[in-house]
Structure 1
Amino acid sequence: MSCDPGETVGAFLCQAGQVLRAAAIENPRLEARLLLGHAMGATADQLIREPRAPVPPEAAARFRAALAARLDAVPVAHILGSQGFWTLDLAVSPATLIPRPDTETLVEAALELFPDAAAPLRVLDLGTGTGALLLAVLAERPRAFGVGVDLVPQAAALAAANATRNDLAGRAAFLAGDWDAALAARFDLVLSNPPYIESAAIAGLMPEVARHEPRSALDGGRDGLDAYRRLVGILPALLAPGGAAVLELGAGQREAVEALATAAGLVPAGCREDLGGIPRALVLRSAPEAGEKKSIGGGAAAH
């Protein structure tokens, strides 16, 4: 299909869609609208309603630069500077993973575990990145308070900015450090999306991930389980009585992580699948003490 010549919205979208399609970019028309809308400061609806509107020269230059970056496999979220997650709008940067829809499965599992919206939960997010997990739970539980920890100072600073961006700064604190090193408290809910990709597999990931997202947030060691070994060792000291941890899993990792958790004295309490049917959100609890009921905390375990 040929595109109309000119400097109109319709012409730019048509041409960009063809270029992105030729580069095997998924959803090329959608991405073209996102990039042009960002360059023009316009919504997708405005672009669709006004295809004959002229594209100002400054916006055209920004759009061409954005399109070149996308063709170089820079993620759309990095070009736009933000990504939607749950009900939040989060700033992103190369210092953190881009929040993904699969990770929302952890939020669903956490809310199911603690269904009382008025509960004054203490929440910890280990490897917080953009703050996505912690902030999503705080947005749904208005009496909860949380701490996010990330080894990368730029990530902790970005998460703090996202708390302010989403009007949650009053109930969230962010620390740069080695997970539990600066923590002396216990938490009702511990969340973590740890690095879980096998080291040798990283080079074969999509270039948007392999080249533009931080290796430290991807690399789970030779077998992908290094971070889980660390997590199961520190969780017993971090969980309050009746508390639970929800960990993100990679495909095929459930049995191995459950075995590590059981060996560390934790009790696997269910695993919620993502929309693709992959076991994604593993729930762990502390082993009940003598005389304590096994069913503790709020709500049933995730499916």
Structure 2
Amino acid sequence: MTDTPDTCEKLLIDAADTIGGESPRLDAELLLSRATGWSRTSFRAWPERQPSPEVIAEFRALVQRRVRGEPVAHLLGEQEFWSLPLKVNASTLIPRPDTECLVEAALALDLPEDARVLDLGTGTGAIAIALASERPAWTIDACDSQESAVELAHANAKALGFPIAVMRSDWFSGLPRRNYNLIVSNPPYVAERDEHLCQGDVRFEPASALVAGPDGLDDIRQLVASAPAWLEHGGWLLIEHGYDQGDAVRQLYGAAGFQAVETRQDYGQRDRFTMGCWKSDL
């Protein structure tokens, strides 16, 4: 009996069985595409193609790393956000599709054509770059407390051709003094004893970008309290948070004096971010 040849389809079936989880076939296709340089569409058009032994060895090594829990985005070195390819690494959070809901809400606001925007804790630069891709007349600043994240966000913005100023700052503390029409942030919001920190992809992401005190609200408290001093009259603050934190975050917004406070949901109909308008006393 002869061995069954290692065609693309056989490799994908075997890998999906090995990987398991929520999307094993997709994971396998992404990893095989990375190893071969062939598109995922080609695996359906020519399932009988046989990669070289060297490529197969590389693919199987990637599969084993995925089995150990490494995020696919880290294995690929890239993650798509707002249809834009962003480089990723272990120094930042991997951009999630649900964060695009925050981008959609920001773009729908009635802001000046030349609005000034700040993305706090930018990570890969995902939110800032997505906004810049849709509003070229906006002036967009971004910051992060980690130098590795600043370098990554700057590299992503430069590679995609968007003139975003990326600075190192622990929230507002290191920023030049100016006011903004819009401040957005996807800060850490996971409670320090949350069981999900030991599960899935987050095991491989930096705790500094995830954890924010006993209830997960330490950073959000600081941002909501500090933001009014950095907002123009009529400016908006949009902050992503956990699905069970909407009530608490709305209370923080209200206590800080924000108006039109509202929590919006993500694509899974879970509370995902809260927004509010700042109107200073004139």
Whether TM exceeds 0.5 here: the answer is: yes
Q: Which residue of 2 aligns with 1:193?
A: 186
Structure 1 residue 195: deviation in Å? 0.6
Match of 1:87 among 64, 83, 96: 83
Match of 1:281 among 244, 250, 273: 273
Q: What's the RMSD between the two structures over aligned residues? A: 1.6
1:76 maps to amino acid: V
- Tell me the distance in 1 between the aligned counterparts of 2:146 and 2:111: 32
Q: Which residue of 1 aligns with 2:171?
A: 179
Q: Which residue of 2 aligns with 1:166?
A: 160
Structure 1 residue 283: deviation in Å? 0.9
Q: Which residue of 2 aligns with 1:296?
A: none
- Tell me the distance in 2 between the aligned counterparts of 1:204 and 1:245: 27
Q: Which residue of 1 aligns with 2:105?
A: 109
Q: Which residue of 1 aligns with 2:36?
A: 40
Q: Tell me, yes or no, if the aligned pair for 2:233 and 2:279 is still in contact at 8 Å.
A: no
- SS of the residue corresponding to residue 55 of structure 1 reads coil
TM-score between both structures, scaled by the size of structure 1: 0.88
- Structure 1, residues 108-132: CA drift from partner, whole Å, max 9, x if none? 110111377xx11111000000111
TM-score between both structures, scaled by the size of structure 2: 0.94
Q: Tell me, yes or no, if the aligned pair for 1:96 and 1:130 is still in contact at 8 Å.
A: yes
Identity level (%): 41
1:137 aligns with 2:131: yes
- Structure 1, residues 135-156: CA drift from partner, whole Å, max 9, x if none? 1111111101211110111011
- SS of the residue corresponding to residue 234 of structure 1 reads helix
Q: Tell me, yes or no, if the aligned pair for 1:186 and 1:238 is still in contact at 8 Å.
A: yes
- Tell me the distance in 2 between the aligned counterparts of 1:279 and 1:201: 18
- SS of the residue corresponding to residue 194 of structure 2 reads helix
- Structure 1, residues 201-260: CA drift from partner, whole Å, max 9, x if none? 055552321x20110111021011101111012101111122101110211211111212
Alignment of 1:1-303 (within 5 A): 5-21=4-20, 25-114=21-110, 119-168=113-162, 171-183=163-175, 184-202=177-195, 204-209=197-202, 211-289=203-281
Q: Tell me, yes or no, if the aligned pair for 2:192 and 2:214 is still in contact at 8 Å.
A: yes
- Tell me the distance in 2 between the aligned counterparts of 1:213 and 1:46: 32
- Tell me the distance in 2 between the aligned counterparts of 1:131 and 1:150: 9
Structure 1 residue 285: deviation in Å? 1.8
Gaps spanning 5+ residues in structure 1: where?
A: 291-303
- Tell me the distance in 1 between the aligned counterparts of 2:165 and 2:32: 36
1:26 maps to amino acid: E
- Tell me the distance in 2 between the aligned counterparts of 1:268 and 1:230: 20
Runs (4+) off by over 6 Å = none
